[in-house]
Amino acid sequence: MSAMPRPFDSDAEDVTWALETADALWRRDDRRDALVWLSRAVEFARAAAHPQRAADLAAAFRNLSSVEAHRSTAPPPISVEMAGDFEIPRHDPPPLPHHVPGGLDWGPIAALADLPETAKRALARTAAIERLESDDEVANFGLAVVIDGEVGVAPTIVDAFVERLDKGSVVLGFGTLTHANALRLVAVNGSAKVAVWGKPTARRLLSEFSAVERRLKLAADRHQALVGAVMGPLGDRLDESTRREVVGHLSLRHLVSGTVFAEANAAFPGLLLMGAGTIEVEYENPRHLSPGEFLFPRLVVSPGRCPSRVVAGEGGALVFVADRATTQELLLSIPSFLELVTELG
């Protein structure tokens, strides 16, 4: 376990970013630079007008600096000058390495191929390497790259894989929606190795490269929708291969806020399976669809008119849909899915 202080939910984004970077460097025994980043977290906390947090982080810096001084007989790792009661490093870290210890090979990572070398080096420097045995998992990440082995993508609250990924695959922990479904990566078929970055670090680095960020977010939207889709009866009742067959008949749609999917008393347009974001069903007492919920399942089996208006809420939504013809084909071709939807109706 790292001795570095952990970020708080109340921390400013710059503080979280600096602490995540410091923690990753400390875990790799690059303690000189870890202390530099911890000192930056102190300054970021001060700039955010959080004096108590800055004082706590400064105390951690002094403690870890003392530990390092006793651990090594080498000269002090960083030059400092006094600023109040806190020692602030006065130089930038040394040049960034091209590879993360443990073997981060950029060749197979096609999704990040367009990043310039400086960005790749920045990612390499701040990566935390997670070595997973079979069924071990990693969650709460902003960006992950599979270095070795195979992992399954799953929600944090349901044991249902939505996709399996091998070496070189990239997973972004957030997509184009404001609110993201929580997901995790689980080692399958033996051990796996994954490089991970926190959300503030991922957002900061990718925001400078809009084309790469856009591609990753669009791919992440599919993961977000798939993860949400299995957080209901689809994940509870159907096995992985059947779920894959069902979703293969559906189309993923991004509904921007205010988009009307169905009007009250209008013909039911077809199946809708909730993935991520917000869908409002405007009954007398309006409600939101939950991830994994089917819209009006009775009408999926027996077409009729919509009992209420259905519209994408604030922030928009990611949904899987099928028109009436495709819905009928799906019901006829997968008996277990027909049984499921019939029971829900």
pLDDT at 71: 66
The answer to which of 96-105, 108-117, 142-151 has the lowest mean pLDDT is: 96-105
User: Using an 8 Å Cβ cutoff, are 266 and 309 in contact?
Assistant: no
Confidence of residue 83 (pLDDT cuts 50, 70, 90): very low
Give the pLDDT mean for 217-227.
96
pLDDT over 50 (residue 96): no
Answer yes or no: do 118 and 202 share one domain: yes
pLDDT at 93: 39
Task: Tell me the range of 2-6, 33-37, 305-309 where mean pLDDT is highest.
Answer: 305-309
> At a CB cut-off of 8 Å and minimum separation 6, what does 312 contact?
255, 256, 257, 258, 259, 261, 277, 278, 279, 280
DSSP 140: S
pLDDT at 84: 38
Could you tell me if residue 307 is inside a domain? yes
Domain C-terminal end among 203, 229, 255: 229
Answer yes or no: do 46 and 65 share one domain: yes
How many domains is the chain partitioned into structurally? Answer: 3
Q: Where residue 317 sits, what CATH number does that domain have?
A: 2.60.120.10
pLDDT at 65: 84
Rounded Cα distance, 272 and 323, in Å: 9
> At a CB cut-off of 8 Å and minimum separation 6, what does 74 contact?
none
Answer yes or no: do 208 and 158 share one domain: yes
Could you tell me if residue 62 is inside a domain? yes
Summary mean pLDDT of the chain = 86
Could you report the per-residue pLDDT of 257-301, keeping only the tens digit for each? 999 999 999 999 999 999 999 999 987 778 999 999 999 999 999
Answer yes or no: do 140 and 121 share one domain: yes
Confidence of residue 213 (pLDDT cuts 50, 70, 90): very high
pLDDT at 102: 39
Could you tell me if residue 39 is inside a domain? yes
Answer yes or no: do 142 and 159 share one domain: yes
Domain C-terminal end among 229, 263, 283: 229
Domain C-terminal end among 198, 229, 260: 229
Answer yes or no: do 30 and 73 share one domain: yes
Confidence of residue 24 (pLDDT cuts 50, 70, 90): confident
Could you tell me if residue 105 is inside a domain? no
Is this structure's pTM higher than 0.85? no
HSE-CB at 203 with a 13 A cutoff on CA atoms is 14
Could you tell me if residue 3 is inside a domain? no
Give the pLDDT mean for 324-336.
94
Three-class SS state of 17: helix
pLDDT at 1: 54
Nearest to 255 by CA among 314, 197, 180: 314
Answer yes or no: do 28 and 41 share one domain: yes
Answer yes or no: do 267 and 193 share one domain: no
Answer yes or no: do 127 and 209 share one domain: yes
Nearest to 148 by CA among 188, 91, 175: 188
Answer yes or no: do 270 and 179 share one domain: no
Could you tell me if residue 319 is inside a domain? yes
pLDDT at 45: 87
Answer yes or no: do 214 and 261 share one domain: no
Could you tell me if residue 332 is inside a domain? yes
Which domain does 199 fall in, by range? 110-229
pLDDT over 70 (residue 171): yes
Rounded Cα distance, 60 and 226, in Å: 41
Give the pLDDT mean for 179-184.
91
Confidence of residue 72 (pLDDT cuts 50, 70, 90): low
Q: In terms of pLDDT, which residue wins out, 259 or 122?
A: 259
Could you tell me if residue 104 is inside a domain? no
Answer yes or no: do 115 and 214 share one domain: yes
pLDDT at 181: 92
pLDDT at 70: 66
